[in-house]
Amino acid sequence: MARRDYEKDRDIVFEILPSFVQRGVIAKDALDVYIEHRVMMENRIRQPNEQRDARNKFPPELMRRYEIYFKDLSSNKNVPIREVKAEHIGKLVTVRGIVTRCTEVKPMMCVATYTCDQCGAETYQPVSSLSFMPVIMCPSDDCRINKSGGRLYMQTRGSKFIKFQEIKIQEHSDQVPVGHIPRTLTIFCRGEVTRQALPGDHIAVTGIFLPLIRQGFKQISGGLLSETYLEAHGIVSLNKIDDKGSQNPLTPEELATLTEDDFYTKLAVSLAPEIYGHLDVKKALLLLLVGGVDRRPDGMKIRGNINICLMGDPGVAKSQLLGYINRLAPRSQYTTGRGSSGVGLTASVMKDPLTGEMMLEGGALVLADQGVCCIDEFDKMADVDRTAIHEVMEQQTISIAK
């Protein structure tokens, strides 16, 4: 199990490294100075052969000033999100998808430090989940022998926090079977893995697949079912990296075919072969799929892709052509103008159920980044919603003013 091996390797590295006092490293923040002073004071006042409660000792999570991440080297093949099942729990998997939701980076408590109001002893509580129950009664020997009943108060200065961010990814359209709903997966990022992706980015995430155990009434209502998430160990952006299939070199026969005069026409005819005619329309859609080059003279970006509006009489296979383009493009989204709104096409502002803050969730145009977005029945869309995509078609950006 990757989770068990991760914890073992983390403890082994902690034992191999020199102690906190022997390192001689310059303190980076206030927590380093705090730990150093506490260790020196404890060594002076501690009696020989003194037995203390484990909660009054410095936990390894507080002394550890480094992070360990795993990298999947066994196989380069990504596992589709819908193929990640119960047998992958506790194992290292690599999935790819598009980021649909991304929260703000928040500090997450890793070790909670308490101080007793009677004896002054410090108690440490390692935190490994999103929620925990604070310690109230002091477990030190002084309070237990004297039965003073000291109460603990949390000290944020001596506690340890790490960066935390939640990301939700959705599988690419080429991984979704026909007639199925795209699956999503929640990603928990901690430490240096945060701030590696934005909504609309195509990423490959390597992490440990784990269940999310709820507490209280949420766990009772869920019964035997539990939510799952992926504990991220590495995130690779795929926006500027071509897919694996497009990196194969062309054979000499294929290169000779590219030099033929009617090669452009052959490609256009092979596009939606079940539809007769419409050669000019197919050539235009072929150029839409291929795209262009973004010229950057003097640092200014010029849009190299084209936008196409298909107009014609009913029954001339306009929707059929859009459906074929949607199935052919590796990254595509298909929607209709009648049921689409400006918020659903661009981005929506929603409340994060984890932290309670507002966050952005990408719409159809964001999910179709680096791909094709097909909007059928464009004339049925409201004028207010239609103006929301003008910036997307011209600048290929979405501006949010909230």
* Helix/strand/coil (H/E/C) assignment for every residue in 49-89: CCCCCHHHCCCHHHHCCCCCCCCCCCCCCCCCHHHCCHHHE
pLDDT at 244: 46
- Among 15-29, 66-80, 275-289, which stretch is predicted with the lowest mean pLDDT? 15-29
State the residue for tokens 């080059």: 293
Residues of the chain with pLDDT > 90, as a percent, come to: 9
Does 252 lie in the same domain as 183?
A: no
CA distance 160 to 42: 19
Does 146 lie in the same domain as 57?
A: yes
Phi, psi for 165 (deg, rounded to 5): -150, 140
Residues 245-269: tens digit of each pLDDT:
455 677 888 888 878 888 888 888 8
Does 314 lie in the same domain as 188?
A: no
pLDDT at 95: 92
pLDDT at 243: 47
How many domains in the chain?
A: 2
53 pLDDT tier (thresholds 50, 70, 90): low
Whether 144 maps to a domain, the answer reads yes
Range of the domain at 135: 2-237
The sign of the CA dihedral 100, 104, 109, 110 is: positive
Which ranges constitute the DSSP H helices of 134-262? 141-146, 217-222, 252-258
Does 315 lie in the same domain as 220?
A: no
Whether 400 maps to a domain, the answer reads no
Does 194 lie in the same domain as 49?
A: yes
pLDDT at 307 > cutoff 80: yes
The CATH code of the domain that includes 131 is 2.40.50.140
Residues 107-133: tens digit of each pLDDT:
988 888 888 888 888 888 888 877 788
Whether 125 maps to a domain, the answer reads yes
Does 337 lie in the same domain as 264?
A: yes
Selection from 115, 86, 84, 89 nearest residue 184 by Cα: 84
Q: Which residue has the higher pLDDT, 366 or 313?
A: 313
Does 253 lie in the same domain as 375?
A: yes
Secondary structure class of 265 (helix, strand, coil): helix
Q: Which residue has the higher pLDDT, 21 or 227?
A: 227
Whether 402 maps to a domain, the answer reads no
Whether 16 maps to a domain, the answer reads yes
Q: Which of 191, 222, 237 is a domain's end point?
A: 237
pTM value is: 0.72
Does 222 lie in the same domain as 248?
A: no
Does 250 lie in the same domain as 231?
A: no
178 pLDDT tier (thresholds 50, 70, 90): confident
The CATH code of the domain that includes 288 is 3.40.50.300
Residues 326-353: tens digit of each pLDDT:
888 877 888 888 777 777 788 877 777 7
Per-residue burial over 79-98, b if 16 or more Cβ lie within 10 Å, else e, is bbbbebeeebbeebbbbbbb
pLDDT at 186: 92
pLDDT at 245: 45
Question: Which of 8-12, 40-44, 237-241 holds the top average pLDDT?
Answer: 8-12
Mean pLDDT of 27-55: 62
Does 251 lie in the same domain as 157?
A: no
18 pLDDT tier (thresholds 50, 70, 90): low
Does 87 lie in the same domain as 228?
A: yes
pLDDT at 21: 47
Q: Which of 214, 237, 260 is a domain's end point?
A: 237
Q: Which residue has the higher pLDDT, 298 or 194?
A: 194
pLDDT at 347: 80
pLDDT at 22: 47
Does 211 lie in the same domain as 257?
A: no
Q: Which of 237, 253, 274 is a domain's end point?
A: 237
Whether 98 maps to a domain, the answer reads yes
- Assess contact for 377 and 291: CB atoms under 8 A: no
pLDDT at 38 > cutoff 70: no
